[in-house]
Every structure is written in C-alpha cells, then in structure tokens.
Amino acid sequence: MAPRFRAEHIGSLIRPETILDKQSFQSPALKAQNTAIDAAVRDVIQTQLKHSITPLTNGEYPRPNFFTALFSQLEGFETRDAPLPHGFRPEIPVIRGATASRFISSMPSPVATGPIRWVKPAFAEEWQQLRDAINDAAGGDEATARELLSRVKLTIPSPIVHHIRLKRGTAWTSESGYVSDADFFADLTRAYRQELKSLYDAGCRYVQVDDPDLTYFCDEDFLRGLREDGLVPDELLSTYLKAHNDILKDRPVGMTMGVHLCRGNLTDETWLAKGSYETIAQRLFNELEYDTFFLEYETEKAGTFEPLRFLPPGKNIVLGVVSTKDPELENLSDLEEKVTEAAMVIAEANNISTQEVLENQIAVSPQCGFASAEYKKAVGSEERMWEKLCLVRDLAQKIWPTHS
C-alpha cells in the first residue's frame, strides 16, 4: 500500500503558553476537561488546516509526555520511582543521559503489580476532544467533518517502552502473578488490541506507535550492556518484535498502523542511541507487520540509506529528513536529493524503477516530534516549527505534485 500521506509529521507539537501550566496535567480525567487544552486543540487543528499540514493531530497537548498515555489507564500497573542508574538496564541511552545530568536521581515507571487488564478506553476523552475540534473546523457540516476525520492520526506509546528500560526482571512484581516476559506481554498486548478496537469503533483509522527503543539495538554500548547482564540481544529483540506484532493481531480492517523508530529530539548525544539501522533493518522491515515505518534520517548519524534495501514491496517508509532539533531551515533541493537517493537504494534491491518506489513506498516528515514532553522546544519557537512543517509540505508537493 502507498503511504497514507506524502507529507507527514510525527504528532507532537510545541505546546502554547496557555497550556504549559503543570496543573493542566494533574490527572487523565482533568486533561480532557481542561478548557485551555480544549481551546488549544481546536486552534492547532485550524492552524494545520490553514497551512495544509497532514496528518491532523492534537499535538499531544493533553499529555505531559508521549509515553504516559495508556499505561496509567490499564488495571494492574502502579507507577513507582526506580533509582538511577541501578533500577534500569545497563547502557540504556536515556538512562545514560539522565544519570550524566546529575539533576535526576530516579525516574517514574509503570510496574505490573497485578494482572494487566484493559478496563476502559484509555484515549476516549482525547479522541472525543479531537472529534469536537474537527466538528468545529467543519462548521457543523457532516460530510466535511467525515473527510477531515479521515486525515486524523493518533499516537500511542510502544508496548515495550517501559519494559526495555527497567532492570531485568523488575517490570512486574511477584504479586502480579507473572513469571516470564511471555506472560507479561501476553496480557499487555491483549489490552493494546482492545484499545485499538475501541479507537476503531470510535472512528479512528490511523494510529502511530511511538518506539524510540528498538533503535537501542543499533547501539553497541547497549548491546554490550545486555550481554554483561546475561542476555542475548537477538533473543530480547525477538521478544519485542513479537510484542509489537501481537498488538497488530486481528486489527480492524481499514486501520492503518505505523511505527516511529526514532532516536529522540534531544541534542545531547548522551541521551541518544547511536549507529546505523543496518544491524536491525532486515528483521524490522520483514518481521514487523506495520504498514509504515517512520525513520530518522535528518543527519548522517543514523548512517546511510543502505539498510533500506531490506524494505519489501507492500510496505512503506516515511523519511524523517527535516530536523526537530536544529532550528536552521534545510535546503529544499538538498532534501529532494536525499529522498531520491533513498528511493534508488530500494529500487535497486527490488529490481524496480526509482519512480515506482517513490510512487508506492515513500513519504517525508520531520525526524521526530517537536515536543515529546510538554516543556520541549528544540527548534526554538512555534513559528520555526510551522516553518519546518511547511518545508515538509513543500518537499512533498515538489516530489509528488499530483498528490498535492
């Protein structure tokens, strides 16, 4: 299948000052009710429409960060503080960075203290808030509202996001009843499937799973830490690939699913996974059952495009070629050359034309979200963020004029 949109963005947007009051994020129940957030979501939908930005998202405004959603709504999890660095796996990049900062002594993480169960739609209020904003933008016209709703994307955290960080064997307690990763993920992925079904029933047709952790398997320091902890990296990777595929089992027909494989939007390299996709690309592209892979390629630190040779026909990639970390605007012609270069690698590997690859398998985006936590503002200002998003839009229009 071809990409749903030619110009994409990862979902999170810089929060306006009107919602940066921490009291807005006291609890999931308060978030959707907060008048300031309601107004901000309506405004950001209108701004995206004004600039012809696709897809439409809520900017993750109702969330304090990208990974808090869902887990806090599942029965069986309790958020506990784990001490740095000893409560976490060795050489996790984000833990390296937090430890090096010396400003953080612990990090909160959901731990299973009982059987994991889905008890209610976790994103119901957030989705309804989005629908209300869409209806407002449509001016009450039902046909327009349906068309706009088809452009909406919702982002959710990866099922492995906490497990991969926590020290071996501490993602659940003895009271939970779990004795293995297989048991833990069986219940967690079942809950994910129920959540995806609830979103589909509510009208959602496009979901992006945010996973900044699979790229750790590109990082030699992380792999060394796993081995020192008595783990076989390929076996742990298999566990995580299975967890991802298990959330996709029996997904509703017509629901597009993508996975964002990033290295974060922080500029300090101590927080980031290093290394080419080469070590994991063949397994990711051929074993994972996602429709779309969102990849970071805004600098040479992610390596060359050669790993894209493993992308099979029928799946597509979104090339993150515009930086959300560097405020400088990229050159449009340079970006077009990068996209063509990537397409040529895929074309040669599959013995098809570069044009076929461009038509069927590639879209473009920034490499990450602009504010994966509420206080992040890497590109400096909302104005520069919109300029970057418009640059992605213009790049897509230049490469795919018939789709603009």
Domain containing 167 — which CATH number? Answer: 3.20.20.210
Residue 250: CB atoms within 10 Å: 8
Q: Is 109 helix (H, G, I), strand (E, B) or coil?
A: strand
Would you say residue 2 lies in a domain?
Answer: no
Would you say residue 129 lies in a domain?
Answer: yes
Residue 117: CB atoms within 10 Å: 13
- What is the pLDDT, as a whole number, of residue 23? 47
- Range name among 89-93, 206-210, 325-329 with the lowest pLDDT average: 89-93
Backbone φ, ψ for residue 79 (5° rounding):
-80, 125
**pLDDT over 90 percentage in the chain:** 70
Would you say residue 3 lies in a domain?
Answer: no
Question: 300 pLDDT band (50/70/90 cuts)?
Answer: confident
pTM of the model: 0.93
**Parent domain of 284:** 17-403
Would you say residue 199 lies in a domain?
Answer: yes
Would you say residue 11 lies in a domain?
Answer: no
Residue type, 78: E
Question: 29 pLDDT band (50/70/90 cuts)?
Answer: very low
Whether residue 85 is preceded by a cis peptide bond, meaning omega within 30 degrees of 0, is yes
Distance (Å, whole) CA 346 – CA 316: 10
Would you say residue 6 lies in a domain?
Answer: no
- What is the pLDDT, as a whole number, of residue 21? 64
Q: Scan for tokens 């308060």, then name that residue.
A: 30
**Which two three-digit tokens encode residue 396?**
């897509």
How far, rounded to the nearest angstrom, does the alpha carbon of residue 387 sit from its chain's CA centroid?
21
**pLDDT digit string (tens) for 221-276?**
889 989 988 899 999 999 999 999 999 999 999 999 999 998 766 665 555 677 78
Q: What is the DSSP letter of 3?
A: -
Q: Is 223 helix (H, G, I), strand (E, B) or coil?
A: helix
Is a pLDDT exceeding 80 seen at residue 351? yes
- Range name among 83-87, 176-180, 334-338 with the lowest pLDDT average: 83-87
Would you say residue 1 lies in a domain?
Answer: no
**pLDDT digit string (tens) for 224-238?**
989 988 899 999 999
**Which two three-digit tokens encode residue 87?**
């409560």
C-alpha distance from residue 229 to each of 77, 121, 154 (Å): 25, 37, 36
Would you say residue 367 lies in a domain?
Answer: yes
Question: 32 pLDDT band (50/70/90 cuts)?
Answer: very low
Per the structure, how many domains does the chain have?
1
- Considering only CA atoms, which of 316, 346, 327 is closest in space to residue 391? 327
Is a pLDDT exceeding 90 seen at residue 191? yes
